[in-house]
């Protein structure tokens, strides 16, 4: 048995540390276990936020509230114990599943803890109002009991209520369920099952270091939820702090605002102070608070030239120049002018190290920067650089910041969320298999079908894969699988495995359109899904608006509303909240969002490409991992048939990843063959291909003879072409 320690913000550091020391001693708590929260939860009351000094949640004891005292004067400890117990009980009683008639189904105990002991002539411990010092607190805890009503279901429901996840993850509208076996009923049960954080997520929410903190995890591991709760918790504990939450996908803005608002209401009974709790885009633009962004603020505060997209492309070249814009701004700033106490970054894999350094320059000491990212989201073969490469020795006068996980007694600096709470095992493994090309047919004999691979092979196990066979080493055969520990079984047991994810090939765009429209109609009319349970994703962001037109027209004929996110809505809106409407989107706007049923159309675009294959497979990976329950991958023609074949090979392997790990030379070749090309490289390639095409035509027509060409050039060309 053991007690997991979750360290929040404490205004009573000495007594908190002594309590942690005593309860971390295995010899002291051999007969009970649970979670010890320091500085958590915060209970919202009519009088304002009421922070609990410390709370132990135990399957053996129930709830134990600690009234911590610094020094030897216990003061009016009885009233403090009553206040904390009454306020927490009132909050928990709002959760029907925790009640039996008018009684709470889990006991609440209280104890005042004075590590140094009570001063001479002070109060004495009573059974109803226990008080203890370092020598007696463990023995006092052993006298607490849950009793015969001990129930694991109630324990988990209590955890969810204390962590406030059940409230903030509650869907915006009540579901109208008539059939217990409908998709709507299954989705409702799924959402209820997900409404509890695991211990790692709890640590990520509550523990904050004095410096930089990194949170890594797969799509669906709860990074966005964790960051929203963390921001709200810090705001509740330190309302005077100026906090910013930023991100790459603009449609996340509304989601963050809703999550933070709900959590603040649950914890403090008050809405956030949106002047100090800011949700801002990364780039931003002039035009007021709603258009503001981290980069725009940096330029304004440091009196630097602000570059919008067009002017940035004019200065740094075509493409997406945000990394160069940030680097330029950081190098131009002559001094640091900090304006924030905490900055939290979601989707950090989409940002450059220069943006993270820019954020650090906006932070007051001790530079509290929290960045969350997905090790596999970009599937680029490389993650963000290590923290020491990002923050140390960068030559731009940024603060030297070091990660230090050797101090096991303090808050965790580097947190890995290995559990996936959105995607079922078959869905997640399919996304990875297709993204990496694990079962892709090799283009030539003797070559590999792999598209990309990690340099650090241990990332696979860090994000929740288990080694079944072989070894994670260069040129070694390996078999990887996800287990119930990292991919909970309830995510896949609600439906037949053949229903969770399907690849469907069509002969024409018209056939794909008609099938999809009928499927959506059936979801709404027979499956008891709501409009915002359905998202249709076109992988190629450049063709989305045109490609979704025919199916939207067909849905309109059926009387079904649909919108294109960011086109028919403002850029910060993904789901329509004021009317029933199915969301259509490109893959970039889909990032960070989720739905029960995901339809991916025109997937044949992700089969093969002369260049940028890693990028287009990442489109498919990202689209698949938006699903909370079911995925339908639709496509046209032979390209779709090849994708479907890859999926069938994965199914035949029981959704395990079986491949030979490429060595360093092979990984470098994968990066070269499937790399993203710059606009200039593409222009040169297209020009070179046109010249080669013209030369072939001239040779065929006789306008140019082979002997007219330079012998050395012909020999080199023959060697290159084999």
pLDDT tens column, 426-453: 999 999 999 999 999 988 777 789 998 8
Domain membership of residue 29 (yes or no) is yes
Structure tokens at 341: 């106490």
Residue-wise DSSP of 356-412: HHHHHHTEEEEEEEEEEE-TTTS-SS--SPPHHHHHSS-SS-PPP----TT-TTS--
Residues 306 and 595: their CA atoms lie apart, in Å, by 37
- pLDDT tier at 679 (50, 70, 90 boundaries)? very low
pLDDT category, 376, cuts 50, 70, 90?
low
**CATH, residue 301:** 3.40.50.300
What's the pLDDT at 206? Answer: 86
In terms of Cα–Cα distance, which of 122, 125, 121 is closest to 136?
A: 125
* 282 shares its domain with 397: yes
Residue 196 has pLDDT above 80, yes or no: no
562 and 492 co-located in one domain: yes
Q: Are 29 and 1 in contact (CB under 8 A)?
A: yes
Domain of 315? 199-417
CA 689 to CA 695: how far, in whole Å? Answer: 10
Mean pLDDT of all residues belonging to the chain: 85
Would you state the pLDDT for residue 418? 84
Task: Clarify whether residues 384 and 341 are in a common domain.
Answer: yes
Q: Using an 8 Å Cβ cutoff, are 342 and 294 in contact?
A: no
The first and second tokens of residue 97, run together, are: 């599943």
Q: What is the mean pLDDT of residues 505-518?
A: 97
Q: Do 579 and 629 sit in the same domain of this protein? A: yes
Mention every residue, 6+ apart, whose C-beta is less than 8 A from residue 310.
none
Vertex 501: Cα angle to 500 and 503 (nearest 5) = 155
Q: Would you state the pLDDT for residue 380?
A: 40
How many other β-carbons are positioned within 10 Å of the β-carbon of residue 694?
A: 12
Does residue 183 form part of some domain?
no
Q: How far apart are CA 236 and CA 331, in angstroms?
A: 35
| Confidence at residue 608, expressed as pLDDT on a 0 to 100 scale | 72
526 shares a domain with 410? no
Cβ(521)–Cβ(597) under 8 Å?
no
* Helices and strands (H, E) in the chain, number of each type: 26, 25
Asked if 604 and 507 touch (Cβ cutoff 8 Å), the reply is no
* Together in a domain, 259 and 405: yes
Q: Are 245 and 284 in the same domain? A: yes
Q: What is the pLDDT of residue 452?
A: 87
Residues 535, 599 contacting (CB under 8 angstroms): yes
Length of the chain equals 722
Contact 54, 100 (CB under 8 A): no
How many angstroms separate the CA atoms of 230 and 259, rounded?
A: 11
- For residue 30, what pLDDT is reported? 54
Clarify whether residues 383 and 515 are in a common domain: no
565 within some domain? yes
Between 32 and 35, whose confidence is greater? 35
Residues forming beta bridges with residue 52, ordered by sequence position: none
Give the model's confidence band at 329: pLDDT under 50 very low, under 70 low, under 90 confident, else very high: very high
Q: Is residue 181, in this structure, part of any structural domain at all? A: no
Count of the separate structural domains present in the chain: 4
Count other Cβ atoms within 10 Å, centred on residue 331: 13
CA distance 465 to 461: 5
The answer as to whether 288 is a domain residue is: yes
| Whether 564 and 625 share a structural domain | yes
- Residue 309 in any domain: the answer is yes
Q: Taking a C-beta distance cutoff of 8 angstroms, is the pair 241, 207 a contact?
A: no
Sign of CA dihedral 268, 270, 275, 279: positive
Q: Which residues of 320-330 are buried (b: 16+ CB within 10 A; e: fewer)?
A: ebbebbbbbbb
Q: Of 135, 163, 191, which marks where a domain is finished?
A: 163
Task: Answer yes or no: are the C-beta atoms of 527 and 184 closer than 8 Å.
Answer: yes
Statement to judge: residues 547 and 662 lie in one domain: yes
Whether the pLDDT of residue 498 is over 90: the answer is: yes
User: How confident is the model at residue 337, as a pLDDT?
Assistant: 92
Q: Do both 258 and 353 map to the same domain? A: yes
Query: Is 90 exceeded by the pLDDT of residue 668?
Result: no
Same domain, 666 and 705: no
Q: Which of 148, 163, 178 is the last residue of a domain?
A: 163
Phi and psi angles of residue 191, each rounded to the nearest 5 degrees, phi first: -60, -35
- Boundary (domain end) residue, out of 417, 448, 475: 417
Quick one: pLDDT band at residue 530, thresholds 50, 70, 90? very high
* pLDDT band for position 240 (cuts 50, 70, 90): very high
Q: Would residue 184 count as lying in a domain?
A: no
Q: Give the span between the Cα atoms of 56 and 4, in whole angstroms.
A: 10
Phi, psi torsion values for 329, nearest 5 degrees: -65, -45
CA dist., res. 633 & res. 502, Å (int) = 6
Judge residue 561's burial from the number of C-beta atoms within 10 Å of its C-beta, 0-12 exposed, 13-18 middle, 19 or more buried.
middle
Measured in degrees and rounded to the nearest 5, phi and psi for residue 577 equal -100, -20
What is the pLDDT confidence band of residue 680, given thresholds at 50, 70 and 90? very low
What is the model's pTM?
Answer: 0.79
Whole-angstrom distance, CA of residue 236 vs CA of residue 84: 17
The answer to whether position 186 is within a domain reads: no
Virtual torsion, Cα 631, 636, 638, 643, nearest 10 deg: -10
What's the pLDDT score for residue 120? 53
Q: Average the pLDDT over 557-564 and give the result.
A: 95
Chain segment 49-76, per-residue pLDDT in tens: 888 999 999 988 999 999 999 988 899 9
> Angle at CA 384, nearest 5°, toward 379 and 388?
155
The confidence score (pLDDT) of residue 686 equals: 53
Average pLDDT over residues 227-246: 94
């Amino acid at each position: 048995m053991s007690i997991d320690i979750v360290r929040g913000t404490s205004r009573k550091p000495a007594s908190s540390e002594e309590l942690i020391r005593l309860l971390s001693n295995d010899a002291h708590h051999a007969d009970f276990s649970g979670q010890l929260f320091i500085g958590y939860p915060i209970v919202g009351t009519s009088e304002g936020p009421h922070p609990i000094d410390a709370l132990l949640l135990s399957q053996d004891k129930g709830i134990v509230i600690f009234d911590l005292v610094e020094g030897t004067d216990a003061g009016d400890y009885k009233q403090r114990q009553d206040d904390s117990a009454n306020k927490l009980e009132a909050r928990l009683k709002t959760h029907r599943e925790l009640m039996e008639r008018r009684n709470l189904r889990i006991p609440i105990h209280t104890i005042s803890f004075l590590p140094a002991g009570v001063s001479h002539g002070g109060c004495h411990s009573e059974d109803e109002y226990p008080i203890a010092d370092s020598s007696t607190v463990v023995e006092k805890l052993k006298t607490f009991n849950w009793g015969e009503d001990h129930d694991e279901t109630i324990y988990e429901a209590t955890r969810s209520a204390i962590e406030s996840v059940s409230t903030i993850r509650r869907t915006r509208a009540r579901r109208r369920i008539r059939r217990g076996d409908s998709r709507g009923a299954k989705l409702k049960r799924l959402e209820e099952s997900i409404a509890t954080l695991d211990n790692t997520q709890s640590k990520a929410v509550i523990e904050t270091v004095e410096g930089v903190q990194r949170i890594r995890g797969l799509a669906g591991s709860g990074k966005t939820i964790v960051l929203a709760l963390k921001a709200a918790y810090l705001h509740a504990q330190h309302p005077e702090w100026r906090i910013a939450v930023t991100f790459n996908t603009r449609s996340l803005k509304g989601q963050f605002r809703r999550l933070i608002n709900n959590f603040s209401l649950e914890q403090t009974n008050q809405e956030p102070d949106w002047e100090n709790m800011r949700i801002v885009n990364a780039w931003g633009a002039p035009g007021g608070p709603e258009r503001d962004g981290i980069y725009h603020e940096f330029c304004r505060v440091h009196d630097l030239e602000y570059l919008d997209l067009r002017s940035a492309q004019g200065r740094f070249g075509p493409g997406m120049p945000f990394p160069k814009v940030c680097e330029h701004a950081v190098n131009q700033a002559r001094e640091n002018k900090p304006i924030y106490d905490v900055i939290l970054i979601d989707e950090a894999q989409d940002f450059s190290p220069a943006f993270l350094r820019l954020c650090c320059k906006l932070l007051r000491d001790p530079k509290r920067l929290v960045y969350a990212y997905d090790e596999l989201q970009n599937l680029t073969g490389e993650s963000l650089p290590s923290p020491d490469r990002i923050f140390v020795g960068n030559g731009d006068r940024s603060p030297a910041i070091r990660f230090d996980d050797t101090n096991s007694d303090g808050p965790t600096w580097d947190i890995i969320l290995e559990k996936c709470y959105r995607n079922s095992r078959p869905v997640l493994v399919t996304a990875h298999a297709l993204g990496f090309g694990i079962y892709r047919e090799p283009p030539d004999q003797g070559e590999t079908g792999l598209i990309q691979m990690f340099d650090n092979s241990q990332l696979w196990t860090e994000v929740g894969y288990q080694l079944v066979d072989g070894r994670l080493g260069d040129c070694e055969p390996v078999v990887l699988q996800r287990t119930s520990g990292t991919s909970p079984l309830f995510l896949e047991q609600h439906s037949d495995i053949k229903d969770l994810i399907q690849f469907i090939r069509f002969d024409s765009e018209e056939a794909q359109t008609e099938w999809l429209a009928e499927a959506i109609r059936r979801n709404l009319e027979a499956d008891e899904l709501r409009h915002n349970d359905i998202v249709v994703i076109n992988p190629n962001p450049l063709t989305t608006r045109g490609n979704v037109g025919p199916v939207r027209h067909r849905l309109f004929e059926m009387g079904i509303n649909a919108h294109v996110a960011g086109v028919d809505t403002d850029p910060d809106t993904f789901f329509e909240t004021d009317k029933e409407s199915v969301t259509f989107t490109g893959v970039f706007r889909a990032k960070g969002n989720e739905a029960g049923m995901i339809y991916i159309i025109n997937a044949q675009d992700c089969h093969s490409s002369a260049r940028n294959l890693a990028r287009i497979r990442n489109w498919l990976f990202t689209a698949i991992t938006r699903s909370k329950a079911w995925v339908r991958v639709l496509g046209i023609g032979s390209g779709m048939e090849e994708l479907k074949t890859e999926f069938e090979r994965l199914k035949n392997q029981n959704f395990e990843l079986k491949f030979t790990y490429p060595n360093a030379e092979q990984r470098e070749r994968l990066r070269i063959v499937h790399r993203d090309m710059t606009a200039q490289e593409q222009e040169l390639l297209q020009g070179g291909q046109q010249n080669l095409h013209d030369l072939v035509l001239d040779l065929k027509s006789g306008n140019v003879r082979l002997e007219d060409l330079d012998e050395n050039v012909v020999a080199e060309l023959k060697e290159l072409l084999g």
